[in-house]
Structure 1
Amino acid sequence: MSDYLIAPDPAAPRLTRVVAGHDQSGQPVELSVVEERALTIYLNSREIVTAMTIGDYPEYLALGFLRNQGMLGDSDVVTGVDYDAELEVVVVRTAQETSHEEKLQKKTRTSGCAVGTVFGDMMEGLDKVRLPETRVRSSDLYALAHKINRTPSLYLEAGAIHGTVLCRGDKPLVYMEDVGRHNAVDKIAGWMLDTGTGAAEKTLYTTGRLTSEMVIKTALMGIPVLVSRSGFTAWGVEIARQVGLTVIGRMRGQRFVCLSGEERLLRDADPARVAEEEGKHGRKGARG
């Protein structure tokens, strides 16, 4: 996909494998299923977490996870990111050693699939978040949904996976997938940190539901607009309104719902002129 800086590669051999089974009639079938791998993330000499992931872009996942958990701050200088494919380990090195014993003690499990992880003090930085009051055009939202939903992806190939896309205006830029939507967001954050890409005027599009952690991560990344094909949680909406994050969900075909940032939404497209989705992610007859 030439329009993307990074796009899914559903043909990559390490991401899926074929599994034999039988259908509802007892007939033999073969399905392409997503692989899961354990990736252990270190910050300098300290083991931080082991995450289940599909295994692509491990360096971005490690960087983004540490940044979104507040373990890499603006003043921290990353001197190296080393990935050992045989051991499935990523080591992120900084110019100065850091200590996170207290933060590790506060680690809790969240509602995210694939064991999303959040630390108890993640919300401490929210009171300092001031997101730009970016205007959102409904025409851009419809254009993004149309392009993203027709992009070849692991979701269309095998299912059982979430996608997250960093966008600007009506253009999708970086499309990441993983078994957990939090991992997909962390990969985006890692790419932004590694490339020095700013968050202003950006939109984060996700296939997953908009929980409190998804809203918190988006806000702490400085991205002013969050869009999803799925629904919301009440706490996620409450936090979005608190920090001034525009949140739009249940976006399918002609329909969407804005629960935060309505004053920043410009409805410049006639929904009646937008085609309804056909099949999985807008593809008639696509595999489920």
Structure 2
Amino acid sequence: MSLRTPPTLRIAPAPDDPRLTRAVTARDASGAEVALRVVEERPLTIWLNSREIVTAMTIGDHPEWLALGFLSNQGMLKPSEEVTGVDFDAETETVVVRTAVETDHEAKLARATRTSGCAVGTVFGDMMEGLGDLTLPPLALRVSELRALSQAINRTPSLYLEAGAIHGTCLCRGAEPLAYFEDVGRHNAVDKLAGWMRVTGTAAADKTLYTTGRLTSEMVIKCALMGIPALVSRSGFTAWGVEIAERVGLTVIGRLKGERFLCVAGAERLVWDLPDGAP
């Protein structure tokens, strides 16, 4: 069966973009020489006003959306804060996000002990605090739509199918994929999506977030803070991720492959619309 991009996709992977992969030569198990393409990694440094926040390794596409999404998902950029500019410099691989009013996160990071994780512990604590009394709107998920969604995404041309070693994240409405991003880190892919949603004003309450990566606590928190009420993955999950999902009313489905899946949170919101024994 030939692969094709679903017609509903507004943003699709770009497996043919020469900037995103590099040609290398390998030898297979028989010793034969094999030509293949591997995914590029580039450092992207994100600034918020006058403060350097983090340097992330990324494939290099959509840097502005990645920066906006990262800052939003980390609680450093509130939905109500006015962004006056997002400037990307390709030569220095730097994005500067500017706001109308100076934020207080620059000073907080200046006081934090920076490690190779770029003060992730401090930032993660802020993300947890951002959950507060958050309760996501209920969203009914049809089992038939989950199956159709899995098939549509798996058949979409992507860097994963072209070169591997990459994660994908797709915003969906029902069985329709809407925006599909890829990156070497699953968090980066989600942040790109968050930035795109912020810029386009895309509503979250009726959407599902599909990811190829495992559903850790941080992934659950990101999804919740984005206001998306359902999180689906073809991979597994962690206990803390499940606990947080139950707390905020997030439906979590993992190990979605073909006709099989496991719903570990929000099963009461599933609509079992397939007849018994349906393929």
**For this structure pair, what is the TM-score category when the shorter chain's length is used for normalisation?**
over 0.9
8 A contact 1:255–1:271 mirrored in 2: no
Q: Secondary structure at the match of 2:198?
A: helix
Q: TM-score, normalised by structure 1?
A: 0.90
For 1:83 and 1:204, how far apart are their aligned partners in 2?
27
**What is the one-letter code of the residue matched to 2:59?**
I
The alpha carbon displacement at 1:102 in A equals 2.3
Q: Would you say how many aligned residue pairs link Structure 1 and Structure 2?
A: 270
Amino acid in structure 2 at the alignment position of 1:85? A
2:60 maps to 1:43: no
Residue from 95, 111, 121 that aligns with 2:126: 121
TM-score, normalising length from structure 2?
0.92
List runs of 5+ in structure 1 lacking aligned partners.
275-288
Contact 2:72 2:79 in 1 (8 A): no
| Structure 2 unaligned regions, length at least 5 | none
State the 1:25 CA deviation. Answer: 1.1
Matched residue type, 2:182: E
Q: How far, CA to CA, are the matches of 2:58 and 2:49 in structure 1? A: 21
- Between stretches 237-246 and 262-271, larger displacement belongs to 262-271
Q: Aligned to 2:209, which of 198, 204, 208?
A: 204
| Aligned residues: CA RMSD | 1.8
**Residues 222-233 of structure 1: pairs in structure 2 closer than 5 A:** 222-233=227-238
Q: Which position in structure 1 is the counterpart of 2:142?
A: 137
* 2:167 aligned residue (154, 162, 168): 162
Residue in structure 2 matching 1:102, options 94, 102, 108: 108
Maintained 8 Å contact 1:231/1:250? yes
One-letter identity of the residue aligned with 2:262:
V
For the 8 Å contact 1:57–1:187, the answer to whether it is kept is yes
Matched, 1:214 2:219: yes
Asked if 1:246 is matched to 2:246, the reply is no
Once structures 1 and 2 are overlaid, which stretch shifts more, 160-169 or 97-106? 97-106
For 1:124-158, what per-residue CA distance to the aligned partner results, in whole angstroms no more than 9, with x for missing partners? 02123120011111111111101000000000000
Change (3 A) 1:117 1:168: farther
| Residue 4 (1) aligns with residue 4 (2) | no
Q: CA deviation at 1:120?
A: 2.1
* Equivalent pair of 2:72/2:194 in contact (CA under 8 Å): yes
